[in-house]
Amino acid sequence: MEGLLFLFGLFLALGLFFLTASVLKLPTMGAAKAMLGTVKQERKAAKTLETYFMILAVRLSGFIRMDAYKRSRMQNVLKASGMNMTPEVYQAYALVKSGAVLLGAIPCMFLFPLLVPVVVVLALLLYFKENQKADETLKAKREEIEGDLPRMVATMEQELKASRNVIGMLERFKGNAGPALTGELDILLADMRSSNYEAALTRFEARLNSPMLSDVVRGLIGVLRGDDSTVYFQMLAHDFKQIELQRLKAQAQKIPPKIRVFSFVMLVCFLLTYLAIICYVALESLGGMF
**pLDDT value of residue 43:** 44
63: DSSP letter: G
Secondary structure (DSSP) of 191-236:
HHHHS-HHHHHHHHHHHH--HHHHHHHHHHHHHHTT---HHHHHHH
Mean pLDDT of 248-253: 75
pLDDT at 288: 61
Closest to 95 (Cα-Cα) out of 148, 53, 48, 156: 53
pLDDT reading at 135 higher than 60? yes
* pLDDT confidence bin for 134, thresholds 50/70/90: confident
For residue 6, CA distances in Å to 1, 10, 114 come to 9, 6, 17
Contact (Cβ atoms closer than 8 angstroms) between residue 38 and residue 24: no
Share of the chain above pLDDT 90, in %: 0
Q: What is the pLDDT of residues 61-96, one digit of tens each?
A: 788 888 888 888 888 888 877 777 888 888 888 888
Alpha-carbon gap, residue 211 to 233, rounded angstroms:
15
Contacts 24+ apart (CB under 8 A), 138-143: 138/77, 138/80, 138/81, 138/208, 141/80, 141/81, 141/82, 141/180, 141/208, 142/208, 142/209, 142/210
Higher pLDDT, 196 or 27: 196
| 209, 184 contact by CB (below 8 A) | no
Distance CA 108, CA 93 (A): 24
Q: Is the pLDDT of residue 42 over 50?
A: no
Q: Give whichever of 42-46, 179-183, 251-255 has the largest mean pLDDT.
A: 179-183
Q: Indicate yes or no: pTM above 0.85.
A: no
How many percent of the chain have pLDDT more than 70?
Answer: 79
Does residue 112 or residue 176 have the better pLDDT?
Answer: 176
Confidence label for 44 from pLDDT (cuts 50, 70 and 90): very low
